[in-house]
Structures are given as structure tokens and as C-alpha cells.
Amino acid sequence: MNAEVELMTRAGCAMCAAAAAHLERVLADYGLVARLVDVDEAAAEGRPQLRAEYGDRVPVVVLDGEEHSYWEVDEPQLRADLDARR
């Protein structure tokens, strides 16, 4: 399967940790692993647009460069979208 999944997060965010665990379980069924992106670290490294875009809504799931869901993993929709990429 050819899909890129990112999870926009920040340190100390309990919702982000829960979303990461949920996303890990879902993606395991597809042989995928999400790339975790701390929006505050990204801003400090010269990519402030990520914090500006996602900072007030983390956790945010990004699928193939497009925002997919925020505050929680929309598992039914994510599975449907990943199935469509098979």
C-alpha cells in the first residue's frame, strides 16, 4: 500500500497520545506506520506553518498531505480511505 500518514502532535498532549495509540492499531492492519510530527518542534526548526495550521487542533491526522481528521481518529473514514488506496 502506498499511503503516507502523519499525526500532528505536541508534547504533553494526552489526546495526542491516545490518538497515536489508536492510529497505530488501525494502521497495523495496513502495514503502515504514522510519522509523528510535533508542531512546536517543527516551528522551532523553521517550519512555523505547521503550528499555525494545526496547533490549536492537535491531534490532527494527515493522509497523503491532506487533513483527514482532528481531535480524534475517524477510524471508519480512515479505513474507507485506506481501503480505496489498495
Residue 24: is its pLDDT beyond 80?
yes
Residue 1: is its pLDDT beyond 80?
no
Q: Name the average pLDDT for the chain.
A: 96
Domain residue spans in the chain? Answer: 5-84
- How far is 36 from 58, CA to CA, in rounded Å? 11
Preceding omega of 48 cis (within 30 degrees of 0): no
pLDDT tens figures, 40-76: 999 999 999 999 999 999 999 999 999 999 999 999 9
pLDDT at 8: 98
Q: What CATH number has the domain spanning 5-84?
A: 3.40.30.10
